[in-house]
Structure 1
């Protein structure tokens, strides 16, 4: 199945904007720079010092604010004409605190910029509205919060007002924008991120600003459509940014758009992610000055017939909508002037690209990925000589792309052809005219030889050639050409060779996925900046490196190799590790004691303690299954407070589970299957409220099942998409590096399984975005649905006692396996309350009594095994139990059971109370035992006595033999005693 392709980001390329002054966002008008004058007016200097006194300045940005020459201070600009302070430019100064009203003494202040500082939720001072000469006020992302003071409406000379609020934490808001109507000189208004959800008059207030040129209200929570004003005053408006507002009514597109087409100067409209639906209105054709139209991420279905009239349109963004139909017919609706940017990815367009380039000849950016476009790639693609970004990923293209398709694309920087049925054929010595930055060629045919044309692409920062049919060794030039590449994906090929020892010194890689190849040899020191390493499913051997050389490594995926040797102590120094999968190797011995700081070489105690604490707090997934690891339950795990996934199955760990195991409060999956753990199951285990997958099968646990099972909250409710295990599953499908959404799934590795009964465990890698699960004797493939699996498996242990009655409160359980233990008592009567149960195995125990009638209630039950117990009485037969396969085998080994599906009729035997048959049998067995012992003793005594009575010679011989035997034993014991006494005397 084709995956949705979100490989490349939205790139409004700078190449286009160089040619489009009108199409770019107009920068806010700025006041002219005023050279400072050395004289400083005393009361203004005092005002600045009062302002400084109230601030926090951890970076000492205001260190120059001392002495008499305040016009020379950092961020202070004075008027050359009169010497008054005219501007305060303190953007990104790292200051915070309270703003003193002493600033009001700066009566000639015309511009103030506090952007990018941190005032930690302080409100915008109301006295800002008293700067009568203020023309430019910039408070963007300064971490102000609360109500935007309406007093700003008193700044009648204001030209530029920017108060965006995109920082985390408390937000700015306004409930009424009427105060804006008094700013009649305002040209630039930016309130992005300010909460305006209750400002219902926003459109009418803005209509009172006749000088407004740039309007930016992105992500403001605007919900109501624009009401029709009595007359239109916004005749100077050039740029409108209203993105990420929830205009989501079915007719919102009409209500929003109708006023825009009457603005004679409008050049840019940005309504991305506004929930717009339907076809764009016909009146759009009136906006002939439009240059840049961004309608990405809506639910639009098509263009109006008047769209051709937009003769100045250069940038068109319609990605991630619901536009369908033939791609060629869609292109016919575009204006003839020649677009520079066309983004249509993530729609439902079909058909083939046209035979001629037509109106597309001027394109710099063509992004039509993730549609249903088919056919060959036309040769005219190579005629788009301005093209810098070509993305055709995730369509149905087929055929061959030759070097002639690409020979004239000298400006090409981004090439995306992934997830089509394409082969790229070029001469081995061909040198392309372009220098790529991003190459996404997943699932294209590049092999079998390693493509030689990549040798010249030494500017590539991100390269993805997953599943490209390469069956060749890594060429020598590879490591030199791609020494500056930050992102590698070469997985799913048959690439052979050895990883060089120079990777750490000569490569800048941050992500390396070379999984599922034929690489061999020993793992060397990896690149220093590496954060993600996946070498799973190769032929690597030898020990892990003593020094990984990558202090920032977050993900280490090495499953299914032949790695041997103990895990080195240096492993503990990877303090940023989050995802670790070393499963299916040959790693022996105990896991290193990451709390033992004495083994860390020359690292200081304080530094090393910090390293260990950081590692313990960051690791999220640890998969060590199917190795030869031994020792007790790893002690360092006690510090892994963020651990979600722990798999130690199929090793030789021993000892008991620690009482501190409940400190792993975030653990969702615990798999200790097939080890040598002993002791009782600690009751603390049931305090882990996030635990939804527990597998302790094939160990030697003893004692009883804890009765506090009700505390396993994650097994009592259906897992949701936001539960902790989903973080593991979705990690790889959502993790991305800048500009490229990469396939970097945190593989949970291959899982072995026993054939003796169902094992609801994960058993396969997720290299193909899937998990294989064995249940009911079958191997099934699970994808994201794995997060909904709830498992409780204690089979093949030495557990005794009764099944806890409250186990029925774990209503989300899908698999319950308690087989092959020594459990006794009755099956809980309300076992049928397990509404989600699919597989229930209680076989090979010592359970007695009748089968509860409630067991026929769970509608999802498809596998049941109660064989080899001491169950008796009639078998419930109805509802779901009728649909089970091989019904007779479910109950085999229970001679007291009767009724369908067994052939034994319940009327053939007396109805005894549970246990009556056993009691009667025990009584009769006891009588016969004692009677037999008595008779045997009497018979044996008389046989010996009568023989000696009548056979005189036999009697003499027997007594002589007895006397000689007695003498020998006595002599031997006397000799030993004398020797021992003599030896003791010498000592």
Structure 2
């Protein structure tokens, strides 16, 4: 993302080294043997040495020798006075002693790149009246900059950069006295309280070099008044990484027209790029990256900047295509431009063939846009190109050898995350040697790319998701010694891996072979591997190779989703630097090794879906950095250890689901104030939910960027966890920091659901189903306003559903079935849109969405007598057939009908009786 800024810094270093004598400095430290130093000054230097923690870097400073011969000291060849003290990068520590006040003839003082950590700015420096060069950069000094620096009227060079706890409290009033100053660097010094910084710095008539990067600067309109004494010879201006807005442009174009190097990167520029830049003909480097610049194209005026070598617009909101800009580029810019970076914008359309005319381009960054179509073959004309980045676009088509025919100097190639097809002859040998090969998601063909055999110096190889279906050839494992990142994941690579223990990988290499079809046992790897991703393959056998590690460099080991088996080795002390261990979804069995407690740096532990037995080893309480424990779906047993709450204060995810844990919930679990995912479901845990559950305070706080992932050397690792979500198993990964869940379902918990649960207001899922909870649902359930899933089914809850449940506006999954709930389901909420199954098994529950109506719905109760009478009268008016005569006729009809039925029954009874008597007589005969 910040490649432009790094290139900008390299150019600055080159500028400084080339122009040091022009700025009035000399770094010549040759010893003049004709004079000896002044005794008072020699004693002052020795006293300075005594204030150092470790004086060994100044071993040449011997009390019995001439101090003019000491390392870093230069004396006047006429007077013998010390004129230069240069200890740059000598790694001295301690205090800057005020004894240096004796060096009143000192003109050059450089203590940069040493450690005076926590010591205040040496105010006495302002009394060294003859100083011309003062460099205290990278010294870790703190406090405020003294106004006494304004006394150094002869100062030419001042560098206070990269002292992050140093601040300016005097509005830079001292600065305007330094009229001879040509070089000022205050990078990363806190200048946020300075109100009128633009005009203060431009009052320096001799200023050539100005860097105020990362100083907390902002711009206000009243700060930008014009100044008659403004500097007109400023060559370099670096204002990157501040809070500047577009008003800075007005000040810039009115203050200096001779700029050669300008960086305004990573500010708050939210406007289009001014055409006025085209009038600064002296510009060689322009870095506007990392802002929010908008516009449909690059201004036409830039086409006339004949001196421009570096042009950076990466990481903005620019759109349009490149045709208009390219068509307005003059021949001089075509010849001068060497670094062109517009990655991470919104440019569209095809890439113009005319890019191939920029024959002097060294770096070309077009990645992270929406360019379409093929990669023009004219790119093959860029014979000076060292870096080509078109990754992360929508490019299509075939890339052939013609695209690379003249790229003899190419070192870094980024083509990944496109739909490009690479087709080369089988025996093609590229004309370049690459250090970075990034081709992820390009189609490389079914066969393993043989042209890689010619590449001898790559440090990064990314060919993941490249459609390769082949065995990794033996020649490939003769990898370059520079290789530190190997990614061949998400292909169809198959076969066995050879013994790699003697392969010549680079130090702390990351190896990713995940999501392939590799099988056989896992071989030995180099002992200094940093990260090893082998998940989602078909590896089998044990993992005894871990015991072969002798270095402590392994940070990440992911063997999940394989066919590995056996008991875990008891040699985890060999890899005690592990931060992430994932063995989930295999066939491991036996007890969890006690030596796993040696992993004192462990943060993520995934052992789920195996066949582990026994208790959790108590040695795990030594792993105090743990944020994730996922041991679900095993055969573990015993009580949930109380030490989890006492010894693992950072724990964010705890999943022991689907095991055989029993006993009560330990009160110590309430100490897990950082817990966000608590899953103890499908066990045999009894007792009650403790009221102290309210102490799980992370579940009542808004999301914090905390544990969500780690950086495993070169690449980021996002943690993940499986949980029941809305009745189904789901895997949370990228959104894990937003998920806050409690699942205690399918246990033997009893008693009432504590009201204290409702204080966990950021919960999005609560599952207490399949237990023996009694009592009623708390009236405060509505406080859980972020709930999306609530399952209280299959308990013995009674009473009515609280109406406050209607306050939970995000609730999309609810299951209250199979309880003893009664009364009417609250109306006017999303509850009526749920399936009736959410309320089934509660015989006394009624109302929508259940089919059975509530009594008050059938016979509404009226509390207003007048309203009721009006309703009755209205009903009588509506039905004119219901009159007094109607009721008389209905009564007479009932009497006649009743006796008619009775007479019929009596006649039938007499007939039946006579038949029975007749049949009886016949039988007697």
Give the superposition deviation at 1:128: 1.1
1:922 maps to none
2:676 maps to 692
TM normalised by structure 2 equals 0.87
Confirm or deny: 8 A CA contact 1:831 1:855 kept in the other structure.
Answer: yes
Whether 1:155 and 2:152 are equivalent positions in the alignment is yes
2:653 maps to 669
C-alpha distance in structure 2 between counterparts of 1:836 and 1:903, whole Å: 29
- Please state whether the residue corresponding to 1:329 is helix, strand or coil: helix
Whether 1:263 and 2:260 are equivalent positions in the alignment is no
Whether 1:54 and 2:44 are equivalent positions in the alignment is no
Whether 1:182 and 2:177 are equivalent positions in the alignment is yes
- Please state whether the residue corresponding to 1:477 is helix, strand or coil: helix
Whether 1:484 and 2:479 are equivalent positions in the alignment is no
1:342 maps to 340
- Please state whether the residue corresponding to 1:506 is helix, strand or coil: coil
Give the superposition deviation at 1:342: 0.2
Distance verdict in 2 for CA 1:124–1:852, change over 3 Å:
closer
1:812 maps to 762
Distance verdict in 2 for CA 1:21–1:687, change over 3 Å:
closer
Give the superposition deviation at 1:15: 11
C-alpha distance in structure 1 between counterparts of 2:529 and 2:282, whole Å: 48
Written as runs of structure 1 = structure 2, the 5 A alignment for 1:189-588 is 189-224=184-219, 227-248=224-245, 251-259=246-254, 262-264=256-258, 266-302=259-295, 303-337=298-332, 338=334, 339-357=337-355, 359-508=357-506, 510-544=509-543, 545=545, 546-588=547-589
1:84 maps to 81
C-alpha distance in structure 2 between counterparts of 1:126 and 1:901, whole Å: 79
Confirm or deny: 8 A CA contact 1:254 1:280 kept in the other structure.
Answer: no
1:897 maps to 845
C-alpha distance in structure 2 between counterparts of 1:141 and 1:471, whole Å: 52
Confirm or deny: 8 A CA contact 1:581 1:748 kept in the other structure.
Answer: no
**Cα deviation 1:578-632 (Å, max 9, x = unaligned):** 1111100111111111278xxxxxxxxxxxxxxx3xx32x211111100111110
Written as runs of structure 1 = structure 2, the 5 A alignment for 1:788-807 is 788-807=738-757
2:701 maps to 717
- Please state whether the residue corresponding to 2:176 is helix, strand or coil: helix
**Paired residue for 2:793, among 819, 837, 843?**
843
Distance verdict in 2 for CA 1:863–1:207, change over 3 Å:
closer
Give the superposition deviation at 1:715: 2.0
**Cα deviation 1:32-79 (Å, max 9, x = unaligned):** 514223433212211211222233226553463331321222222223
TM normalised by structure 1 equals 0.81
Distance verdict in 2 for CA 1:206–1:856, change over 3 Å:
closer
Greater RCO, CA 8 A, separation 6+: 1
Confirm or deny: 8 A CA contact 2:5 2:287 kept in the other structure.
Answer: no
Whether 1:138 and 2:135 are equivalent positions in the alignment is yes
C-alpha distance in structure 1 between counterparts of 2:733 and 2:849, whole Å: 37
Confirm or deny: 8 A CA contact 2:385 2:407 kept in the other structure.
Answer: yes
Distance verdict in 2 for CA 1:334–1:199, change over 3 Å:
farther
Confirm or deny: 8 A CA contact 2:833 2:849 kept in the other structure.
Answer: no
Written as runs of structure 1 = structure 2, the 5 A alignment for 1:851-870 is 851-870=801-820
Give the superposition deviation at 1:175: 2.8
- Please state whether the residue corresponding to 2:68 is helix, strand or coil: helix
Give the superposition deviation at 1:866: 2.1
**Cα deviation 1:667-705 (Å, max 9, x = unaligned):** 111111110111111121122111121111111111112
Number of residue equivalences: 845
Relative to structure 2, which stretch is displaced further, 338-347 or 324-333? 324-333
Give the superposition deviation at 1:776: 2.9
C-alpha distance in structure 1 between counterparts of 2:642 and 2:315, whole Å: 52
C-alpha distance in structure 2 between counterparts of 1:17 and 1:92, whole Å: 19
Give the superposition deviation at 1:117: 1.5
Give the superposition deviation at 1:358: 6.1
- Please state whether the residue corresponding to 1:97 is helix, strand or coil: coil
Give the superposition deviation at 1:166: 4.2
**Cα deviation 1:154-196 (Å, max 9, x = unaligned):** 22222211111344xx323243223222222221111111122
C-alpha distance in structure 2 between counterparts of 1:896 and 1:21, whole Å: 85
C-alpha distance in structure 2 between counterparts of 1:425 and 1:196, whole Å: 55
2:105 maps to 108
- Please state whether the residue corresponding to 1:279 is helix, strand or coil: coil
- Please state whether the residue corresponding to 1:873 is helix, strand or coil: strand
C-alpha distance in structure 2 between counterparts of 1:287 and 1:721, whole Å: 45
1:682 maps to 666
Relative to structure 2, which stretch is displaced further, 142-151 or 328-337? 328-337
Stretches of structure 2 lacking an aligned partner (at least 5 in a row): 860-925
Confirm or deny: 8 A CA contact 1:700 1:797 kept in the other structure.
Answer: yes
Distance verdict in 2 for CA 1:8–1:633, change over 3 Å:
farther
C-alpha distance in structure 1 between counterparts of 2:650 and 2:521, whole Å: 35
Give the superposition deviation at 1:98: 3.2
C-alpha distance in structure 2 between counterparts of 1:150 and 1:22, whole Å: 27
**Cα deviation 1:376-412 (Å, max 9, x = unaligned):** 1111100100000000011111100001111210100
Give the superposition deviation at 1:778: 4.8
**Cα deviation 1:58-117 (Å, max 9, x = unaligned):** 655346333132122222222333322121111222333333332222222121110011
2:912 maps to none
C-alpha distance in structure 1 between counterparts of 2:403 and 2:11, whole Å: 22
Give the superposition deviation at 1:297: 0.8
C-alpha distance in structure 2 between counterparts of 1:9 and 1:536, whole Å: 36
Root-mean-square deviation (Å): 2.7
**Cα deviation 1:440-497 (Å, max 9, x = unaligned):** 1010001200111111111000111110000011011111034431111110001123
Relative to structure 2, which stretch is displaced further, 675-684 or 295-304? 295-304
**Cα deviation 1:732-791 (Å, max 9, x = unaligned):** 6xx662xxxx4x534637x5xxxxxxxxx1xxxxxxxxxxxx533456675533322221
**Paired residue for 1:704, among 652, 668, 688?**
688
Written as runs of structure 1 = structure 2, the 5 A alignment for 1:117-132 is 117-132=114-129
Whether 1:649 and 2:643 are equivalent positions in the alignment is no
Confirm or deny: 8 A CA contact 1:557 1:580 kept in the other structure.
Answer: yes
Whether 1:745 and 2:742 are equivalent positions in the alignment is no
**Cα deviation 1:880-916 (Å, max 9, x = unaligned):** 211112x1x22332333344444445549999xxxxx
Confirm or deny: 8 A CA contact 2:676 2:739 kept in the other structure.
Answer: yes
Confirm or deny: 8 A CA contact 1:228 1:259 kept in the other structure.
Answer: no
Confirm or deny: 8 A CA contact 2:87 2:112 kept in the other structure.
Answer: yes
Written as runs of structure 1 = structure 2, the 5 A alignment for 1:607-626 is 612=598, 615-616=599-600, 618-626=601-609
C-alpha distance in structure 1 between counterparts of 2:19 and 2:680, whole Å: 61
C-alpha distance in structure 1 between counterparts of 2:239 and 2:803, whole Å: 62
Give the superposition deviation at 1:510: 1.2
C-alpha distance in structure 2 between counterparts of 1:908 and 1:86, whole Å: 101
**Paired residue for 1:826, among 776, 788, 792?**
776
Give the superposition deviation at 1:207: 2.8
**Paired residue for 1:94, among 73, 84, 91?**
91
C-alpha distance in structure 2 between counterparts of 1:321 and 1:873, whole Å: 59
Confirm or deny: 8 A CA contact 2:367 2:391 kept in the other structure.
Answer: yes
